[in-house]
Structure 1
Amino acid sequence: MAGLTIIIPTLNEEEFIEQAIMSASFADEILIIDSFSRDRTLDIAKKHRVTVCQRAFDNFSSQKNYAIDRASHEWIFILDADEVIIPELQKEIASEIRKAEPHKAYEVKTVRMFMGRQMKYGTAKNDTKTLLFQKQHARFGAKLVHENLVVEGSRGALKHYILHYTYRGFDHFVSKKNHYAWLQAREMFDKGKKANIFHILVKPPFRFFSEYILKRGFMDGFPGFVNAYINSYGVMTRYIKLWLLQHQQK
Structure 2
Amino acid sequence: MEPQRTKISALVITYNELGYIEKCLKSVEFADEIIVVDSYSTDGTYEYLRAHPKVRVIQHPFKNYTAQKAFTLSQASNDWVLFVDADEIVTPELRHEITNTVNSNQGHAAYWFRRKFMFQQKQLRFSGWQTDKNYRLFRKSKAQFSDKRIVHETLEIKGSSGILKNKLTHYCYRDYRNYKNKMLVYGRLKAKEALQKNKGFNPILLVAKPTFTFLFNYIIRLGILDGFKGITVCYLNALCDWERYLELRRLEHEQKAISLKTISQRSS
Which 4+ runs in 1 deviate beyond 2 A? Answer: 42-48
Amino acid at match of 2:9: T
Corresponding position: 1:140 with 2:145:
yes
Instruction: Give SS of 1:248's match.
Output: helix
Note if contact 2:184-2:239 (Cα within 8 Å) is conserved in structure 1: no
Q: CA deviation at 1:115?
A: 3.7
Structure-2 residue corresponding to 1:218 = 224
Between 192-201 and 143-152, the greater mean CA deviation after superposition: 192-201
Note if contact 1:5-1:27 (Cα within 8 Å) is conserved in structure 2: yes
CA distance in 1, matches of 2:57, 2:120: 30
Which among 179, 189, 208 is matched to residue 214 of structure 2? 208
Deviations 1:214-241 (A, max 9, x none): 1110101100010011111111111111
CA distance in 1, matches of 2:6, 2:116: 27
Structure-2 residue corresponding to 1:156 = 162
Instruction: Give SS of 2:78's match.
Output: coil
Between 67-76 and 41-50, the greater mean CA deviation after superposition: 41-50
Q: CA deviation at 1:15?
A: 1.5
Note if contact 1:217-1:228 (Cα within 8 Å) is conserved in structure 2: yes
Q: Please give the residue correspondences for 1:71-82 in structure 2 after superposition, counting only pairs within 5 Å.
A: 71-82=76-87
Instruction: Give SS of 1:177's match.
Output: helix
Q: Please give the residue correspondences for 1:37-56 in structure 2 after superposition, counting only pairs within 5 Å.
A: 37-45=41-49, 46-56=51-61
Corresponding position: 1:33 with 2:42:
no
CA distance in 1, matches of 2:175, 2:106: 44
> TM-score normalised to the size of structure 1?
0.97
The aligned length equals 249
Q: CA deviation at 1:42?
A: 2.2
Instruction: Give SS of 2:85's match.
Output: coil
Amino acid at match of 1:182: R
Instruction: Give SS of 1:118's match.
Output: strand
Show structure 2 runs of 5+ residues with no match.
Answer: 256-268
Instruction: Give SS of 2:164's match.
Output: strand
Q: CA deviation at 1:127?
A: 1.1
Note if contact 1:8-1:80 (Cα within 8 Å) is conserved in structure 2: yes
Q: Please give the residue correspondences for 1:1-250 in structure 2 after superposition, counting only pairs within 5 Å.
A: 1-45=5-49, 46-142=51-147, 143-248=149-254
Amino acid at match of 1:136: S
Show structure 1 runs of 5+ residues with no match.
Answer: none
Deviations 1:70-120 (A, max 9, x none): 111110111100000000000000000011343100000111101432111
Between 63-72 and 216-225, the greater mean CA deviation after superposition: 63-72
Answer with 1 or 2: which has the greater Rg.
Answer: 2
Amino acid at match of 1:54: Q
Note if contact 1:117-1:223 (Cα within 8 Å) is conserved in structure 2: no
Between 39-48 and 89-98, the greater mean CA deviation after superposition: 39-48
CA distance in 2, matches of 1:47, 1:16: 14
Between 113-122 and 225-234, the greater mean CA deviation after superposition: 113-122
CA distance in 2, matches of 1:75, 1:82: 21
Identity level (%):
35
> TM-score normalised to the size of structure 2?
0.90
Output the aligned Cα RMSD.
1.2
CA distance in 2, matches of 1:47, 1:206: 45
Note if contact 2:206-2:245 (Cα within 8 Å) is conserved in structure 1: yes
Q: CA deviation at 1:125?
A: 0.8
Amino acid at match of 2:127: G
CA distance in 2, matches of 1:119, 1:220: 6
